[in-house]
Structure 1
């Protein structure tokens, strides 16, 4: 068997598709029916669903860097739907369903791994909130249970049941918790979209948005001005900046969010484990690396630098949960920029500018919403601005009428 693998690795005769690569970049046209600002997961997913299910292929994706190089490449690839509100649970449950079939949809392996997510409760108040989340999840199609300490020991035998002198009283066990390869998701959507005629323009930075009589008419880039029938803004951490180009403000604040990973070790942890009291979550990848993540930095900043203080804090919390991890070696650390709303829910749908559609405010859960976001935003564009029922609660005007969708308690690590 090892010799066969070595022989296969050294051969030039690989079974691959001739059209497996993305098309060679072309010149920008003078006009497109749809311009999507942002070539991350959400942008390419929207283009894919527009092309495949609505027949809209005169689409240009404008990405200032490279495909999936923003927050799509700077997350820990967790997929879940165990949210607090009915609106959130319904939305993310649909996303989980789409994720489960994406490899078949693309004929491209996204390395989807169903593993379950365990969130720890250290206080009676947290246990009460977990009971509420369990019932909401069950009612709207999520598979979530409240489990006791003995069941937690059986799920994760290596877990310290008294981390930081905070005994674990119960756990929120989300059976549908999973992971997928984030860059594979972006490449799968991009491949499917471009094969159907969508144009992906990397290294193409949007520098301005032109409007006339309250309607978007063109987009300025470092490669020239492009006319458009409509625009979809999907730029993650820079949503406020791009919206400002279109002439309106968004109720968002941007914060850095950091994570880190160790060198690979033998498999010992299958579920994703998190504790909001310790501001930390831990998972083991398919390659054996241990990923740590936690809350965002406590101050607004457009920066993706790593810091020593957060590194120390995350490592200390992870070691409280798994003391033997003190012997592991850290491999690397990274950060992304997250757009936070006051109610910790996204902003999707219409904007103050006609034919300018918003996909923003994802905070720490943008990756897990990628399929359903692409599907619903495509429906919005294809219908000419009729907002799908699933995303209607996430409209930006909810802040004007005080109809927030408060998901603050549903984050895996408190912000």
Structure 2
């Protein structure tokens, strides 16, 4: 489907591949899809690998450097004001995930995005018992086991805008109800920690990548809950756009001006879940 190398699994296939899965629960499981090349990676390891390579290529990475404001004149950003002083440049890019709207406002720009928390949960570590990544769009939960033995659980985003990174109890309830519906064997595990990250959701649930009405300001936002998977390509095409002064061909449908023209890219059902 759509060029993705996935295939359908029967109930028998699921029994062999995920023997822990309860097939005849409240929501009977009749089959599934699998993409053999799919998997998980350690987020922090990937981020640090990118950082080390960027540093080796001469990129300055300044940590603990909060942006407090922007100096603008004649519809251009002249400098950003930070806790470590002002930084000047010819061109600026906002790649700040859930805080895009706040930083864009410093340049007098209003973005068509909503910021919502997305939670994840980690149980106490156990021996290797789950060697796949499983997601159910029906009850909306995804689960995998980390290389440290923890069971990693995720679910839907919160239903209201917020910058709080603690999440809400209703998502806790829904996530673990869904987990135990499909994998009751995990019911005796203790929750070790949980957290929430802030996601920017564009009104048509598609990213916004490219120039803005502010002459030398670019933005990459609206990735919702799929940014980690998409950013390698998103970052490369944004860099190309900044260097060449025009949108990369892959980014043309995802320009900010689509919200004025009405040429929206409606991807609300792309993941099959209610983000």
Query: TM-score, with normalisation over the residues of structure 2?
Result: 0.94
SS at match of 1:167: coil
2: CA distance between counterparts of 1:246 and 1:146?
49
Tell me the residue number matched to 2:246: 386
Provide, for residues 48-90 of structure 1, a one-character-per-residue CA deviation record: whole Å limited to 9, x for no partner: xxxxxxxxxxxxxxxxxxxxxxxxxxxxxxxxxxxxxxxxxxx
Moved more, 321-330 or 215-224: 215-224
Q: CA deviation at 1:212?
A: 2.4
Do 1:260 and 1:333's aligned partners in 2 also have CA atoms closer than 8 Å?
yes
2: CA distance between counterparts of 1:180 and 1:232?
26
Tell me the residue number matched to 2:179: 318
Provide, for residues 363-411 of structure 1, a one-character-per-residue CA deviation record: whole Å limited to 9, x for no partner: 111111231122112111221x221111221111122222222222222
- Aligned with residue 274 of structure 1, among 135, 140, 164: 135
1:153 aligns with 2:19: no
Matches within 5 A, 1:353-368: 353-368=214-229
Provide, for residues 193-227 of structure 1, a one-character-per-residue CA deviation record: whole Å limited to 9, x for no partner: 12222211111111112222222221111222222
Q: Unpaired runs of 5+ in structure 1?
A: 1-134
1:214 aligns with 2:75: yes
SS at match of 1:339: strand
Tell me the residue number matched to 1:262: 123
- Aligned with residue 397 of structure 1, among 230, 252, 257: 257
Q: CA deviation at 1:412?
A: 6.1
Do 1:304 and 1:335's aligned partners in 2 also have CA atoms closer than 8 Å?
yes
How many residue pairs get aligned? The number is: 275
1:284 aligns with 2:145: yes
Tell me the residue number matched to 1:128: none
Q: CA deviation at 1:149?
A: 2.0
Tell me the residue number matched to 1:230: 91
Do 1:279 and 1:294's aligned partners in 2 also have CA atoms closer than 8 Å?
yes
Q: Unpaired runs of 5+ in structure 2?
A: none
SS at match of 1:331: strand
2: CA distance between counterparts of 1:162 and 1:238?
43
SS at match of 2:177: helix
Tell me the residue number matched to 1:408: 268
1: CA distance between counterparts of 2:151 and 2:211?
40
Moved more, 250-259 or 192-201: 192-201
Q: CA deviation at 1:347?
A: 0.8
Relative CO higher for 1 or 2, CA cutoff 8 Å, sep ≥ 6?
1
2: CA distance between counterparts of 1:185 and 1:370?
12
Do 1:255 and 1:338's aligned partners in 2 also have CA atoms closer than 8 Å?
yes
1:369 aligns with 2:255: no
2: CA distance between counterparts of 1:272 and 1:147?
14
1: CA distance between counterparts of 2:261 and 2:228?
28
2: CA distance between counterparts of 1:170 and 1:343?
30
Do 2:118 and 2:167's aligned partners in 1 also have CA atoms closer than 8 Å?
no
- Aligned with residue 6 of structure 2, among 132, 135, 144: 144
RMSD between superposed Cα atoms in Å: 1.6
Q: CA deviation at 1:186?
A: 1.3
Moved more, 389-398 or 247-256: 389-398
1:179 aligns with 2:40: yes
